[in-house]
A and B are shown apart, each in its own frame.
Chain A
Amino acid sequence: MSMDRRDFLKLAGLSTVGIGAGWVLSRPGDILEASQFLQTKELLHAKQWAMVVDIRKFKTAEDYKKVIDACHRVHNVPDLGNPKDEVKWIWSDSFEHAFPGQESEYMPQEMKHKQFVLLCNHCENPPCVRVCPTKATFKRKDGITMQDLHRCIGCRYCMAACPFGARSFNYRDPRPFVKEPNAEYPTRMIGVVEKCTFCEERLAKGLMPACVESSNGALIFGDITDLNSEVRKVLADNYTIRRKSELGTRPSVYYILDIPGGDRNA
C-alpha cells in the first residue's frame, strides 16, 4: 500500500475542492450565452421561435423538395446515400409515421399517406437538452435548441432522448458527401450530433429561415409569445396538431391539417 492516511486525506480534500469549483462552473446562463450564441445588431429577437407547417399548401413532390433542398444546400448537409448513416435536418414522412397512433384504418387514404414535413421541434421542454452531459445541446433565450459542435463528445444520449428522431450523428466524415459546399456555412466533423437550428445564422442577419423563405407561405415562422406574430394569428384561425404532445416536451412546430371534405362541413 503506497498511500498512507495523510496522502489519502490530501487527495480527498483536493477532489472536494475540484468538485466545488466544477459546481460553480456548472451554472449555465450568461456565460453560456456569451460563448455559444452569436449576438449581432441585426439579430431578430423572440422569446420562443415557432413554426407552423400548413400542410394544405404542400401538393406536389416539388413543394417538399424545394424546402428540403433549401435547407440542406445552405447548411452543407451531406447526402450519404444510405439510411444507416443518414444525416437530415428536414425531411418528409407519411401521416401514420409522423403521428404514430393517430391514424385509423378508415381515415381518408390520402390523409394517411399524405407526406408531412418533419424537423426538430425546438421543444420548450426539450429532453435532448436535459440529458446532454456537456451542455453541447442547450436552449437559447429565444427558444432555439442549439448545439455546440465543438463541445459535443458524440455520446448520442440526446438521440436516445429525442422522441422525434430529429437528430443525426456523423457516423462518417460528412465532407466528401456535401455536393456543392456552401463556403459561408461550416461543414461538420466526424462523431458529432447535428440537427435543424431554426437557421440561427440567418436570424442573426435579420433573415427568415431558408426553408420558410422558399416555401411560398407553406411554412410560417415567428415568435409564439408575441400575440401579433403571424404564427399566433395562424394558430388562432386554424385547427393545428403537434407531434406527440402527450410526452410533455412542448413542441414548437405546429401542423395545419388538410382535412379532406372539411369544406363540405363548413
Chain B
Amino acid sequence: MRNTFIKELTKFVETDKNIIFMTADLGFSVFEEFMEKYPNNYINVGLAEQNLIGVAAGLALTGKKVFVYSIAPFATARCFEQIKVNIAYHNLDVIIVGVGGGFSYSKSGSTHHAFEDIGILRTLPNMKILCPGDPIEVKASVKYAIENSGPFYIRLGKNKEPNIHKEEVELKNIISISEGEDGIILTTGNMLELGTKIVEDLKNKHGKNFALSSCPIIKPFDEKQILDLLKKYKYIFSLEEHVKEGGLSSLLSEIIATSTYKDFLFKGFSIDHGFIKTVGSQDYLRDLSGISKDKITEQIIKILK
C-alpha cells in the first residue's frame, strides 16, 4: 500500500507544486525517488512527530496542501493534541498518512500496533478518516483527499496487500465487492482480503452466500446507507483490525441503535484482547485476538445456527 501511495502522490505533485510531503524519519527504500525528483516538495523533520504536525499546520495555514507520514501510532496517538489543536480545530488541509494499520508491524510489539487510531481520531470534529482496503482504494483515497479539503487521516496497511477490486473505484462509504443473499460482511481497511476468504469459506464449506463490501470512508458516514442494509439483509457482520471502541463496529452500532426496524442481527468482529505482549506474524496476532479467518468463520456459523 505504501508504494502505491507514494506513486499516486508523485503523480499529483507533478502537476501541483503546492503539495508538500513530510515524513518523520521514515521511508527508507520507498521515498528516495520522490526526494530526488521533488526536493522542494519534500521535508523530513527527523524523529519529531509533534513538530511534524505543528509545521504542517503552519504550511497549510498559508495555503499549502500537506501530507505527513509516519508509522500509524506515531502519526496519530503520539501527536494527538497537535492534531486536535493545530489541525482539526483550524480545519486545515493536512493529510495524515499512517503506515501499518492494526497489526501490520506485528513483530514490533504493542508500541507499533495501531489498534485505537481510528477511535481517537473519530472523536475530532472536521477530521475525515479513510481506511483503504487494497492498493486500488489507496489510489482512490489519495485522489479523494486531494480533491476535498480539511484534515484527513489515511490508514494504510504495510506492503504487498493484493488488489481485490478488478478495476479503478470511486471512494464511497460502502463499495460492493460481491453479492449474496444470506447476509452481508462489511470490512474496513486491511481486513478486506480476509473478508474475501471468509466469504469463500462460508460458501464452499458451509453453503452460505454472503455479500461482501468494503468501507474505506469511515468518517463522514452516510447513515442511511447502513439503515437501508438492515432491511435488505438478515445478518450483518463487520470486520476491522481495530478495537471495538471507536472503530467500525462501534460506528455501525451507533447507527443501528437509531433504527426502528429490528428484524436483523448485527455482530462486529474487532480486536478482542488486552495489550499484546508476544510477537509473531500478523496472522498469528489476528488469531490471538479473535479476528482470524477461522475464528470469525466459526463464530458466524454458530450465529447462523
Do A and B come together as binding partners? no
